[in-house]
Amino acid sequence: MEIGIDSFAAAANGNQANTEKNVQSMAELLERIELADKVGLDAFGIGEHHRKEFLDSANTMILAAAASRTKNIRLGSAVTVLSAADPVRVFQNFATLDLISNGRAEIVVGRGSFIESFPLFGYKLDDYDELFIEKLDLLLDIRDNEIISWTGKYRPALKNQAIYPRPVQKTLPIWLGVGGTPESFVRAGQLGLPLMVAIIGGETHRFRPLIDLYRQAGKKAGFRPEQLSVGLHSLGYVADTSKEALDDYYPGYAETFTRIGKERGWAPVTRQHFDAQNGPRGALLVGGPEEIAEKILRHSESLGGISRFSFQMDNASLPHTKLMHSIELIGTRVREMVNKK
């Protein structure tokens, strides 16, 4: 199983006010990606947001900087908000990243969990689904063909248009990032795309019926089981001991999700809620190396097998030194234990 890290490039103190500190935050993020490569992790993803809390609105620029400082780790998005983007530019950006990284780029496309990109780029939220479906169709056409003719509703038509540059990889990997909508799982299967499932709450095993839908749709469309990869993106953090991990992670987690909850109508986070989410079947993976390795394997078994697990762990306002140590533990201990089982 591949083990990776995802980051949303948190801004210093949750805002854009202190440019000097955000310069430091970006430098530290690149250090973490470099360390992830050195300790043998398989992938590092950078999200895309257009909010004051994050520095990842131009994630391919961060990934390109990381490519120049790494050798083996795969570099991708987590996710690219395709509904509000131009698929031509998305492909060109990641094809360029593929050239810089010598064939280590990949894209996870999705709708994103926030909606600020729609008004920012002049799109209507009412067109949420249609935008994504149409733009995914165009992106896949560009990936598979150097010269395309294409017509859609939300973008000017392309007629015998060549799209450059072309990537190093014969087929640039495009994952479909999904939450909990059955139609999205079926669509990924019908297209034969690898599936990245974001599970940030509840009990992970409850996603099994949706993943079964994905595999059934893929089989019906003629794809082999080995072509239908499933990845899991979950909130997590590893420290030397379980107690240390919980003590480190909970305060920042509670602050972040209580703040987001005010926007979405969620109840404030309590320690009881947190402990339930971090229980044996819960979506959170916060603890010591051995218990987290066991939990990853347990999640994989409950979902019928996964090929990648990605930790999203910079959402709890943890200091850089703590995140660096966690990455080291994940690379040198968790990954090894997962793949020895």
**pLDDT (0 to 100) of residue 315:** 85
Residue 307 lies in a domain: no
**pLDDT (0 to 100) of residue 341:** 60
The amino acid sitting at 222 is G
**pLDDT (0 to 100) of residue 227:** 93
The structural domain count of the chain equals 1
Residue 306 lies in a domain: no
pTM of the model: 0.95
Residue 175 lies in a domain: yes
Residue 317 lies in a domain: no
Residue 285 lies in a domain: no
**pLDDT (0 to 100) of residue 13:** 78
Residue showing tokens 């199983």: 1
pLDDT averaged over 10-residue windows placed end to end, the chain, 341 residues = 96 83 96 98 97 94 98 97 96 98 98 85 90 97 98 96 98 95 96 96 95 98 96 98 97 90 86 94 97 97 97 91 98 96 60
**pLDDT (0 to 100) of residue 210:** 97
Residue 287 lies in a domain: no
Residue 56 lies in a domain: yes
Within the chain, where are the H helices?
A: 19-38, 59-67, 87-101, 117-120, 128-144, 182-191, 208-220, 242-264, 271-277, 289-302, 320-329, 335-340
The domain in which residue 27 lies consists of: 2-262
User: Domain of 140: which CATH number?
Assistant: 3.20.20.30
Residue 289 lies in a domain: no
How far is it, in rounded angstroms, from Cα 102 to Cα 71? 9
How far is it, in rounded angstroms, from Cα 199 to Cα 196? 10
The amino acid sitting at 336 is E
